[in-house]
A and B are shown apart, each in its own frame.
Chain A
Amino acid sequence: MARATKILRNFYRDSVSLMQLSSMFAKLPGVEQASAIMASANNISLLKEAGLLGGTIEAGANDLLIALQGQEEALDAAMAAAEAALNQNPPPVTGNGRSCGMAPRSIEMGLGDMVGANLALISTPGEYAAAEALKALSLGLNVMLFSDNVELKDEIALKRFAQARDLIVMGPDCGTAIINGIPLAFANAVRRGEIGVVAASGTGLQQVTCLIDRWGKGISQAIGTGGHDLHRDVGGISMLQGLKALAVDQSTSVIVLISKPPSPEVAGRVLEVAGGVGKPVVVNFLGADPEGIKHPNLFAAGTLEDAAAAAVALADGRRPEEGRPKRPPFAIPPKLAPGQQYLRGLYSGGTFCYEASLLLKKDLGQVYSNSPVDPGDRLGDVWTSRGHTVIDLGDNLFTRGRPHPMIDHRLRNERIFKEAGDPEVAVILLDVVLGYGSHPDPASEMVPVIQKAKDLADKAGRHLVVVGFVCGTSLDPQNLSKQEVALRDAGVILAESNAQAVRLAATVVLAAAGVGKMP
């Protein structure tokens, strides 16, 4: 006969509710004995004597203890039914007799509504976020800190506090995570599978998880850490916590680590731990030297796409390089007008922008940006492009007082039209990010302006090439295929990933300059 116990901390239900719970147990098949009782020392002793408990029970008199005995296969369902019954408040009644709910106004209230919750998602203005995160951690909750503008000293303090309690702080400025199959904040609906991801980059995490889904594999957990986690002073605490969690997670067989360039000493520590987890780990530290990653379990990936491909190959039991994607066929655009020579990347995703800078620098030389690879390539006036330029429109400079460009396309649309009017522009490079939190139909916002931009160039005797990619899955609420069809119909050349789109765009520019050939 199997036994199961559940302890609900500081949990109070009136005696009648507890009695009703006992009555419910009596009707459940496969349950021989059951009790829902306050976990005082005398009651624990009582249940031990009754044969319902064995071993040590770590509970106090203010905790509710549910103890079941019966057929093993019946106990999980019985416990779930008990929790559901206990969490179901009797419907409150308003003065006019209608039922109404009351939204929780604090983390503690929320926890009262959802006993057993183990994660709090905090999205308050930055100045309040650290205090709320500390409250959540003190209540034993892991934290996803969506808020930005949290001071580094607070981030360090929160992460150390969490680490001491075996909890994790995802963030601050953590825009993406997928926990137990549930997309949190800006995340995509991906199938579940055996690849776990820990990322200090939101759109990096989205790109890798979407490509893994597109190539037939799934995600066990995708843990965001916030962009500062691999800063020297933070020490990669959350990435190490995430790595530790995935190392022992039985549903994870391959791990992917993603970050913009980390501090060298932190990278060294993370790689040392990653090498010892006993599972293959694909590492994409954008811009880092792959030669620095030398361990039989570690596989360096130069791009987000390479990281996803390597993870898929490893999950299939193949070598990581066997998963490298093939370049798709590319329709040759009409000849560009003389003087059309520059690329303008207008990104909503910061990591996409950074990756584009890295890849374009190799092919095109100097690329200006508001988040440049080299400080010397910083764009002086972010509102005006020069030469080859890639812009992260999600940067704080652009989002003050307005929504993120994944939600509100107006700023980018204005910039697309502005770039189209520049006779030196040959290619506009765009990302389109789908998933929860993003605009419900981005193509409907982008297509009219892209058509207008192309018309403007046509009337001036030029041909404007627009290259892009859609970061999304067929499960996303925006309908991936509908978005792709609409963009293609508007003349956008779509690649499968950011890396492919960047390379295509670079090829167009090089071909126009007579340096390279169109594929």
Chain B
Amino acid sequence: MCFSGVIHSVFHHACNVSLKSDELLTLVSSEKGNFPQGIRLETSPKFTFLNQLRVGQPVACRGGIIRISGSDLSIDLRTASHWHVDLKGLRVDLHQRDTAQAWAVAWVELGKHRRGDGISGMIAAIPLPRQNPVTSPGIKILVERAVQTLPALINATRNFQVEGAITAIRPLIGLGPGLTPSGDDFIVGYLAGLWSTAGSDSSRLRFISTVGAWLSQAAVGTNAISYTYIKSAVKGNISEPIVTLAQRFGQANNMDSVREAAGTALQVGDTSGADGVLGLLLGCIAWTAPSLFCCSPPQPVLCS
């Protein structure tokens, strides 16, 4: 294993390395879930990247060991285990009663998650948590855009209309608050939903492939961190909290485990978790639920 790069951005529990191939690699501390393009370190509870690394430090991996110039931190990858979940193999099907029930449990958890000004604020059942209109002046517009866009996206997906899907996704790229903007988190979650329900259906796989190819290009319109997540999602590689929730839909004999997974996924970031969960839930229903929105403008209610 051989690569070189520089430290791109540093947070308490994560650090991005910009590789010479223009891709980002994410180092995360052990309390975080697994990531695509990520390396999860075994760290002590008090560990923080902020007192280990700074932006601009050169990074090199040679012989399976990552060394960082000017830092005492080195990472031995030689014994690291590889994490991968084949979302396509989950074959989530909301026509199945237990799966639909699990989906509904997650939807209720999302509704109870009273935090964030992201796209998930479109769910009318969730009162917006803002005490003061100063916090996010664009939220009303953001939600209005989402309300217009998301039903169109789901309908285009349902009917395999690539152009329609692209038209619906384009305004979401880089849209909204957060380090990974709300729209991007939704897109990643939505792709997770599509992959989870695609199975071996060639039409679905072709749709994901075609829209994904476009998205890999169009996502340059967002920031480098978000771009990396979207590119990974296009290939079916999604972060562990969302993947775990999708897995629970397929093993839906224990609703508490669904609630727990939903709760974990919703806790990610400020708005990222809720936006990603919303994306996953809507992505799951595009091909496997007979009807979603009963009225327009939509009050997103699942029609069983």
Residues of A bordering B, CB below 8 Å = 12-16, 18-19, 22-23, 25-26, 31-35, 37-38, 40-43, 46-47, 49-52, 61-62, 69, 89-90, 92-95, 97, 100-102, 104-109, 111-113
Query: With contacts A12-B179, A47-B138, A105-B70 known, is A93 near B174, CB below 8 A?
Result: no
Query: With contacts A90-B12, A106-B56 known, is A42 near B51, CB below 8 A?
Result: no
| A93 neighbours in B (Cβ, 8 Å) | 46, 48, 51
| A106 neighbours in B (Cβ, 8 Å) | 54, 56-57, 70
Which of A13, A23, A69, A102 meets B51, CB within 8 Å? A102
Query: With contacts A26-B135, A94-B51 known, is A37 near B221, CB below 8 A?
Result: no
How many Å lie between the Cα of A112 and that of B52 in the bound state?
Answer: 14
How many Å lie between the Cα of A105 and that of B71 in the bound state?
Answer: 10
Nearest CB in chain A: distance from B178 CB, A: 4
| A41 neighbours in B (Cβ, 8 Å) | 174, 221
How many Å lie between the Cα of A169 and that of B132 in the bound state?
Answer: 47
Cβ-defined contact, B55 with A112, below 8 A: yes
The stretch that binds A, out of B202-210, B238-246, B265-273, is B265-273
Which of A23, A94, A101, A102 meets B135, CB within 8 Å? A23
Nearest CB in chain A: distance from B141 CB, A: 5
In this complex, how many residues of chain B approach chain A with their Cβ under 8 Å: the count is: 56
The answer to the question of B299 belonging to the interface, with a C-beta cut-off of 8 Å to chain A, is no
How many Å lie between the Cα of A302 and that of B138 in the bound state?
Answer: 63
**What are 23 pairs between A and B in contact, CB < 8 Å?**
A14-B11, A14-B12, A14-B179, A15-B177, A15-B272, A25-B134, A34-B137, A35-B177, A37-B177, A38-B181, A41-B221, A42-B174, A42-B175, A46-B142, A47-B137, A61-B226, A69-B137, A94-B51, A102-B52, A104-B56, A105-B54, A105-B56, A109-B56
| B178 neighbours in A (Cβ, 8 Å) | 15, 18, 38
Cβ-defined contact, A92 with B50, below 8 A: yes
| B134 neighbours in A (Cβ, 8 Å) | 22, 25-26, 31-34
A-B interface contact total, Cβ < 8 Å: 162
Given A15-B178, A38-B178, A106-B57, 18 more pairs with CB closer than 8 A? A12-B16, A12-B179, A26-B132, A33-B133, A34-B134, A37-B176, A43-B174, A46-B142, A47-B137, A50-B141, A90-B50, A93-B46, A93-B51, A105-B70, A107-B56, A108-B56, A109-B55, A111-B56
How many Å lie between the Cα of A13 and that of B12 in the bound state?
Answer: 10
Which of B12, B55, B224, B269 meets A108, CB within 8 Å? B55
The answer to the question of B131 belonging to the interface, with a C-beta cut-off of 8 Å to chain A, is yes
* Residue picked from A47, A93, A100, most chain B C-beta under 10 Å: A93
Residues of B bordering A, CB below 8 Å = 6, 8-12, 14, 16, 44, 46, 48, 50-52, 54-57, 69-70, 117, 131-138, 140-142, 145, 171-181, 183, 220-226, 269-272
How many Å lie between the Cα of A111 and that of B272 in the bound state?
Answer: 28
Which of A18, A46, A100 meets B141, CB within 8 Å? A46
How many Å lie between the Cα of A14 and that of B54 in the bound state?
Answer: 15
| B52 neighbours in A (Cβ, 8 Å) | 102
The residue in chain B whose Cβ has the minimal distance to the Cβ of A105 is B70
Cβ-defined contact, A43 with B176, below 8 A: yes
The residue in chain A whose Cβ has the minimal distance to the Cβ of B134 is A26
Cβ-defined contact, A42 with B46, below 8 A: no
The residue in chain A whose Cβ has the minimal distance to the Cβ of B135 is A22
Cβ-defined contact, A16 with B48, below 8 A: no
Cβ-defined contact, B135 with A97, below 8 A: no
The residue in chain B whose Cβ has the minimal distance to the Cβ of A109 is B54
| B140 neighbours in A (Cβ, 8 Å) | 50
Which of B51, B55, B175, B270 meets A43, CB within 8 Å? B175
| A38 neighbours in B (Cβ, 8 Å) | 174, 178-179, 181, 222-223, 226
The residue in chain B whose Cβ has the minimal distance to the Cβ of A69 is B137
| B179 neighbours in A (Cβ, 8 Å) | 12-15, 18, 38
Nearest CB in chain B: distance from A78 CB, A: 10
| B269 neighbours in A (Cβ, 8 Å) | 14-16
| A89 neighbours in B (Cβ, 8 Å) | 50
How many Å lie between the Cα of A34 and that of B139 in the bound state?
Answer: 12
Cβ-defined contact, A112 with B54, below 8 A: yes
| B132 neighbours in A (Cβ, 8 Å) | 26
